[in-house]
Structure 1
Amino acid sequence: MDDDGPSGPQVRLASARGRWILFTTVLGSSMALLDSTVVNVALPRIGRDLGADLAVLQWTVNAYLLTLAGLILVGGALGDRYGRRRIFVLGVTWFALGSLLCGIAPDAGVLIASRALQGIGGALLTPGSLALIQGSLHPADRARAVGLWSGFGGVGAAVGPFVGGWLVDGPGWRWVFLLNVPLAALCVPVALRHVPESKDPQAHGRFDVGGAVLGAAALALVTYALIEAWSGSALVVAAAVGGVALAVAFVLLERRRADPMVPPGIFASRQFTAVNLVTLCVYAAFGGFFFLSVLQLQVVAGYSALAAGAALLPTTALMLLLSARSGALGERIGPRIPLTVGPLLCAAGMLLMLRVGPGASYVRDVLPALLVLGAGMVTLVAPLTATVLASVDPGRAGLASGINNAAARAAGLLAVAALPLLAGMGPDAYRSADGFDAAFGRAMPWCAGVLVLGALVAWATVRSPAPGSARPQCRTQCAVTAPPLEASRAPERPEPPAAGSPATGSPA
């Protein structure tokens, strides 16, 4: 039976409406999650069909990350103010429109612009999917619903590269994007029919539009400068200087605003600042690795798109199976050791990928590297999220998670832009197996070095959180592009669960 509470509808998860809410949020968030993992597999085919150079492949990834990272905090605030279902539906629709334009793009320019549109939709729907659970379901059922949401999302992340490879080798790379259209056509009417509207009655003040614009513009200019640095033109130098100037202006604006998008005061917590530095190192390495590794497998090792996508399954499968146990271990021994050992294991896995060359054996050369990398990801990702949440007051857990998620995406964005430059990859690098293999050999030590730096930062700065600090509700953590978002929560103790209702999140 459903109840109406003072903050809006309080639907029980066991009811038909509760199951529809869970289905809708999982389906919507899976669209964005799948897109973040399947597109990399399609890059070589996109480049070949559109006659594009390496810079176009970088922008195909980064145009999406740019708008997503720049607007994801705004997306959550819009839902709290104007209605979570309304913004979620808008995000799904926007994402589907961007996907359709990507699927029919006649040239690289249209594809890149459409990817940026996709990112705007992702910034609206990604925080909205979890907020719908928190705003619609009965307090006694929310933890279990979040556990199921994160578990099903983990399954989607695990199968994403496999699905992407199958589509690329089958109907073609355009279906990597077009697949989102029927998913959205199913998601939107279900949301409108079965999901109640909810808002945050305490949401107030103006949106930090200026901060969002400055942050996104700074990232865009720096990304452009890194990708186009090969040209050595005056425009590249101007973009780099302009990007740095806008980044400084963003910091100054956030310090002066009454309701900033990124409150500077949150960084007064040394633990929060330290873990975000670790996040930047870790997800920069992940972003560069997953961008280049699928190219290495296809261009150099001769794998099909399906084989390359399937090759990556061990990393996400290990996270799907073991992330909850890793989080529990982090709670027992503290985050310092996991956040030090995890990056070092990931660094070792990336260095093992140097064995992957022409005619590489999957069992002998690829699988060991991905198993070591997966073990490192399992070790570090869940404790990283837990430490972020534990470093701030419980009432700011949602904000802290959003900042950490945006930082991870920005790190991946900059890594995809900078790593080919650091590795000496020219515009036509991916068209030559020998040339790309040599550049890949120079790139992996860069990724490993950034991970070692993250491990050193963790060992020197991270300490055990205070007893009773906030803990993640998302127990399954499979996203390779960013840590999972966590919902905002009130600092006061939640209502006791009803008889027969589970009191903790699913360990999935």
Structure 2
Amino acid sequence: MSIAAPGRAAYVSLLGTTTLGTLASTLMSAPINDIGADLGAAPSQMVLAVSAFTVAMVAVAPVAGWACTRIGATRFLVLSLVLMVLAQVAAASATGLAGLVAARAVQGVACSGIPPAIHQGLLHFWPEMRRRSMAAWASAIGVGQAVGPPAGGLVSDAVGWRGLFLVYALVCAAGLLCLLRFVPAVPAVQQPVEVGGTAQLVAGAGLLVVGMTWAGQGGAPGPSAALVGAGLALLGWALRPRRPRGHLLGRGVLRDPAYLVSTAAAAAGMAAMGITLVSVPLYLGRDVGLTAGAIGAVTAAVAVGMVLFAPVAARVARRVGAGTTLAGGLVALVVVPLAVATLEGVATGPGVVLPLAALLLLLGCAIATVQSMAAVVLLGSVGASSGLATGVHNTGRFTGLATGYAWVAVVYSAGSPALVHTGTAVAAAATLVLAAAARARLPQSVTSGGVGRASSESAST
């Protein structure tokens, strides 16, 4: 039985908030050149406006995870959307690059806690539907990926890039009203937080992603490596097993195979998305000669696959278990990127478009499977009850995306599609090995399926 389960409007409102968060990161990709020309910023400088969102989101994720537990998931989402509305208005009002970068960073802060808050809300109201709700969550991400770039381009053409930010502010305000109207409060949980250790987490995550972003923008290897090294050192110190007040994330979290597998899988899935959505458009534009509109149509196949296949993954998981379904998704994340690399390496001209779109559709199916099942595995872990632990999990997720961006920027100039897409395959293969090694220690709720559980979830809808 659900715990005080509200109606379908609440379910849609929570998933819609996920889509809003994804839209925030993708809306400005289409008009980015127009924005740069208006603000007098070079293309390399405009990358800062894109990366500022990711850097802020990664750095703040640990604190955001704790905060959404501490004040309640629904209240946290309301505050996030209020901040998002203000940040969109600030972006629309920017008179220079610095103002836009600052506004984008605030948008990243607003989005940093949306995933754990959505997870908490869905699990609280519909605990017996965790596989189905996590699949719907993955589909909501896919919707944001699919709609963001074309919608951003159309709205920007109609009302200008400043109008784009203002229109999105109105959309966020509408989402805010839906949350207030339809979603009951999720009870807050009083969780203490160690300020010093949490500050180390935030600083370490920030330095890590700044270092990777700097490398991705062609920065000198020395400073990039120093930033990454300093970030890893701070993260390691904050998460060290023995602390005067006990482990920062709670006892046993970093020894829990479910937590480790879910975090690694989430990072691998986001790295696959980052690598694909940056490298494939570069290939289609430079080597195939497609227009921006055609490139958007081809790469939308990834998002279409995510939207369509996530419910299928949930049904498969009810039969064979989330762990087995996750493993299948990881296998696909190894095989499909290598197929994409092979195709890009041997095919030229417009004839590559249809087979590439088909492979990207399969890749979207794999990403949806990995993302949704990683969330299911996380909910069965020791860290699921700790807001800080879920925040660190999402730091890993977002860092995977930043790593994917940086990987493409560093290796694409080598001119080898195999090298670019091997990054996705290696990340997925490493996670698959980790999952296989940990399988015997995963909880039964992760490894088991069964018709009984499927019937329970079906009856709930």
Contact 1:206 1:259 in 2 (8 A): no
2:76 matched to 1:87?
Answer: yes
Matched ranges for 1:421-440 at <5 A: 421-424=410-413
> Which amino acid in the other structure matches residue 336 of structure 2?
L
Following the alignment from structure 1 to structure 2, what is the Cα–Cα distance between the partners of residues 355 and 174? 42
Question: Structure 1 residue 223 and structure 2 residue 212: aligned?
Answer: yes
**Where does 1:2-401 land on structure 2 (aligned, <5 Å)?**
11-13=4-6, 18-135=7-124, 137=125, 151-152=139-140, 154-201=142-189, 203-206=191-194, 208-223=197-212, 225-227=214-216, 229-230=218-219, 232=220, 237-238=222-223, 240-255=225-240, 256=243, 258=245, 262=249, 265-269=252-256, 273=260, 276-277=263-264, 280-295=267-282, 297=284, 303=290, 305-329=292-316, 332=320, 335-353=326-344, 361=350, 364-379=351-366, 381-383=368-370, 385-386=372-373, 389-390=376-377, 393-397=380-384
**What is the TM-score with the length of structure 2 in the denominator?**
0.79
Contact 2:330 / 2:432 at 8 angstroms: preserved in 1? yes
Q: CA deviation at 1:314?
A: 1.7
Cα deviation for residue 128 of structure 1 reads: 2.4
Offset at residue 285 of structure 1 (A): 4.2
What's the C-alpha RMSD, in Å, of the aligned pairs? Answer: 4.1
Q: Give unpaired runs (5+ residues) of structure 1.
A: 425-438, 473-495
The SS at the match of 2:113 is: helix
Q: Distance in 2 between matches of 1:506 and 1:211?
A: 45
Contact 1:41 1:308 in 2 (8 A): no
- C-alpha distance 254-267 of structure 1, shift in aligned 2 (>3 A): closer
Report whether the alignment pairs 1:414 with 2:403: yes
SS in 2 for 1:200: coil
Distance 1:40 1:293, change over 3 A: farther
Question: Does the CA contact (< 8 Å) of 1:37 and 1:157 recur in 2?
Answer: yes
Indicate conservation of the 8 Å contact 1:391/1:465, yes or no: no
Does residue 470 (structure 1) correspond to residue 445 (structure 2)? The answer is yes
Q: Name the CA distance, whole Å, in 2 between partners of 1:45 and 1:328.
A: 44
TM-aligned CA distance change 1:257 to 1:31, over 3 Å = farther
Structure 1 residues 371 and 44, CA, compared in 2 at 3 Å: closer, same or farther?
farther
Q: For the structure 1 residues 139 and 287, does the alpha-carbon distance in structure 2 shift closer, same or farther, using more than 3 Å as the test?
A: closer
Question: 8 Å contact 2:329–2:369 — kept in the other structure?
Answer: no
Shift of 1:19: 4.0
CA contact (8 A) 2:268 2:431 kept: no
Alpha-carbon distance in 2 for matches of 1:334, 1:154: 19
* CA distance in 2: counterparts of 1:43 and 1:297, whole angstroms: 18
Distance 2:390 2:458 in 1: 18
Does residue 450 of the first structure (1) align with residue 438 of the second (2)?
no
Decide whether aligned partners of structure 1 residues 395 and 470 sit closer, same or farther in structure 2, where only a CA change above 3 A counts.
Answer: farther
Note closer, same or farther for the CA distance 1:140–1:181 as it changes in structure 2 (3 Å cut): same
1:342-378 CA deviation, whole Å, 9 max, x = no partner?
Answer: 3221232244345787xx53xx322321321331342
Q: In the superposition, relative to structure 1, how do residues 354 and 94 fare at CA in structure 2: closer, same or farther (>3 Å)?
A: farther
Contact map agreement 1:44 1:299 (CA 8 A) in 2: no
Q: Displacement of 1:379 after TM fit? A: 3.4
Distance 2:364 2:306 in 1: 7
C-alpha distance in structure 1 between counterparts of 2:266 and 2:117, whole Å = 23
CA distance in 1, matches of 2:88, 2:283: 26
| Residue identity opposite 2:331 in structure 1 | T
CA distance in structure 2 between the aligned counterparts of 1:224 and 1:139, rounded to whole angstroms? 38
Question: How many angstroms apart in 1 are the aligned matches of 2:345 and 2:460?
Answer: 35
Structure 2 CA distance for partners of 1:12 and 1:142, relative to 1, 3 Å: farther
* CA apart distance, 1:11: 4.1
Give the Cα separation in 1 of the matches to 2:379 and 2:71.
Answer: 26
DSSP 3-state at the match of 1:312: helix
Deviations 1:191-220 (A, max 9, x none): 334433333345334455313432233225
Q: Name the stretch that deviates more: 268-277 or 318-327.
A: 268-277
Residues 16, 175 of structure 2: 8 Å contact kept = yes
Taking the aligned partners of 2:213 and 2:245, their CA distance within structure 1 comes to 32
Equivalents in 2 of 1:278, 1:390: separation in Å?
10
Residue number among 451, 457, 461 corresponding to 1:504 in the alignment: 457
The 3 A distance-change label for structure 1 pair 46 and 398 is farther
Q: TM-score by structure 1 length?
A: 0.73
Cα shift at 1:117: 0.7
Distance 1:305 1:100, change over 3 A: farther
Equivalent pairs, count: 446
Q: Matches of 2:189 and 2:377 in 1, distance apart?
A: 25
What whole-Å deviation, never above 9, does each CA across 1:476-506 have from its counterpart, x for those lacking one? Answer: xxxxxxxxxxxxxxxxxxxx99xxxx83169
Q: Aligned AA for 1:408? A: R
Is residue 58–residue 227 contact of structure 1 (8 Å, CA) maintained in 2? no
Aligned AA (2:102): A
> Is the 1:147–1:506 contact (alpha carbons within 8 Å) kept by the matching residues of 2?
no
CA distance in 2, matches of 1:391, 1:189: 30
Deviation at 1:77, TM superposition (A): 1.7
Q: Which residue of 2 aligns with 1:434?
A: none
Partners of 1:116 and 1:70 lie apart in 2 by: 10
Counting aligned pairs with the same residue, the percent is 20
* TM-aligned CA distance change 1:403 to 1:327, over 3 Å: farther
Say whether the 8 Å CA contact 1:169–1:306 is kept in structure 2.
no
Equivalent position of 1:476 in the other structure: none
In the alignment, what sits opposite 1:479?
none
What CA distance in whole angstroms lies between the structure 2 residues aligned with 1:294 and 1:173?
A: 22
In structure 2, list runs of 5 or more residues that go unmatched.
none
Would you say the 8 A contact 2:333–2:425 is kept in 1? Answer: no
